[in-house]
Structure 1
């Protein structure tokens, strides 16, 4: 597992060495099913499942861009990637990690750290994808520069459309217990309305 994670991280660095020049947003196409373990997590940690309140798109100023990179790097360096089967003895258990966790646990911690810094929950969406036949979860951050991904497999913060993943679904803005299917990429608007 560790070797696979290292290989994926290396391939990501080759596939996407720079952030996309023009940002894109995820086009959503109707309702989707949430990962089954998500609902159990939400009953234990409702505030971390929330996507209510605040601006839906954050105007990405240099300070905020720096915060995204710092949180992504910091959490990636502190939390050891470890499967749920090894960590807690089950195949899928969404939780807030302290020392180790798998991709969704790490995405949840990044969401918490950004919320503590004042980022609105409505712009921080847990998102599921596939890579090489395996499921993967990242944190998508809705910004004026496009939908950016914080990923445990790389310290780079990238536009979602410049990652090697096939995206399935993400939390709906305004109702974090509802999930939406992800379609294609839409170019960002020239100005962010924030709402």
Structure 2
């Protein structure tokens, strides 16, 4: 995976005024879901975990990937629709290529190159694009899992007001975590995304 120090262009950062407009439009369209959400809708925090070895330099290379904005904009139905759009566009527009083939290493986390990327590269790109849309970075959590065949995989967990949803390069669908069939291992800590936490639970 190629290294890049590129941040998010200023034009992609949503101002407080624009966030307020987004919220009011969402209310006007009646697209926000109100009501209690069961705790099981969210992945559990089972304590601090070590950062995946291939992601150790992630925060220094992409500060936005580990930042926390405190953005209070609701992350509900409208945001889920946007997440599906982003996932579909990235999945269909980014060629799949392994780290071994592209970088001659087993695992390397970075944004996709012109040649494409693998699962964690696409998850990182989706996180970047959703942050640029105004979604708080601490709601977008890079996560390691075992897929339905027991193989190592990486996804982006979107922590919404409705629960945790999985944004995945293996499908355009954005699914609740407990409907994926994945075993969740570690993910970024929502309170401090530069840290990681153990999840260790089956979806």
Structure ranking higher on relative contact order (CA contacts 8 Å, 6+ apart): 1
SS at match of 2:58: helix
**Larger radius of gyration, structure 1 or 2?**
2
- Does residue 39 (structure 1) correspond to residue 56 (structure 2)? The answer is yes
2:123 equivalent among 107, 116, 124: 107
Q: Which residue of 1 aligns with 2:92?
A: 77
Q: Distance in 2 between matches of 1:33 and 1:57?
A: 30
Q: Which residue of 2 aligns with 1:158?
A: 175
Q: 1:138 to 1:58 in 2, by over 3 A?
A: farther
After the TM superposition, which of the residue ranges 84-93 and 37-46 deviates more from structure 2?
A: 37-46
Q: Is the 8 A contact 2:145 2:185 kept in 1?
A: yes
Alignment gaps of 5+ in structure 2: 1-37
SS at match of 1:136: strand
TM-score by length of 2: 0.74
Aligned residues: CA RMSD: 2.0
Q: Which residue of 1 aligns with 2:19?
A: none
Alignment gaps of 5+ in structure 1: 1-21, 186-195
**Which protein has the bigger strand share?**
1
TM-score by length of 1: 0.77
Q: Is the 8 A contact 1:49 1:176 kept in 2?
A: yes
Q: How many residues align?
A: 162
Q: Is the 8 A contact 2:183 2:201 kept in 1?
A: no
Q: Distance in 1 between matches of 2:75 and 2:164?
A: 12
Q: Is the 8 A contact 2:42 2:163 kept in 1?
A: yes
Q: Distance in 2 between matches of 1:40 and 1:107?
A: 16
